[in-house]
Structure 1
Amino acid sequence: MFKVTNTKSGVKATLSGFKTDAIASKIEACKSGDCDCDCDPEIMAKIDNIEFYSTKDGSNIVVTGDIDAQTLEPMMKECLIHTP
């Protein structure tokens, strides 16, 4: 499952059925700017913070900034769960 929803300060993504370690390393790469994804620099500039945490039901990513789920969801899917 991969679901992205809007929040008051950005978006929240809920993922289940994926390896937490793999997602966490990709999130860290995005946060440091060393991401291998083909992310839109204009959208990335609007992101203030990315938080990642795991629960018993899966993983959650909270992205704060001037972004919305409709814009960010395709980028997140491509970067986080796409396998070449």
Structure 2
Amino acid sequence: MAGVIIALTCLFLGIFLRKIPGFPTLKASNWVQAYLINIVLPALALLYIPEIKLSWGILIPVTAAWFTFFTFLVDFWDTGKQIQLG
């Protein structure tokens, strides 16, 4: 419930700040994105990764991620060769 309250508060705060004429919207969004990617995401990773227990159930998402990576790697490699030959 606390997450919903925080999300709604931030939503309404963003709507309110957007209506202020001199508020720098572009710089604020870039700062928020940089903060989330460079500080929040690594902090969440450090918080939750040690709690992961290795089991057979975790094999499916890991395999799916690697399968997707290698599928697109082969696809882009083939596309690159076709572009060079074309």
Instruction: Normalising by structure 2, report the TM-score.
Output: 0.23
Max Rg structure: 2
Larger relative helix fraction: 2
Instruction: Normalising by structure 1, report the TM-score.
Output: 0.23
More contact order relative to length (CA 8 Å, sep ≥ 6)? 1
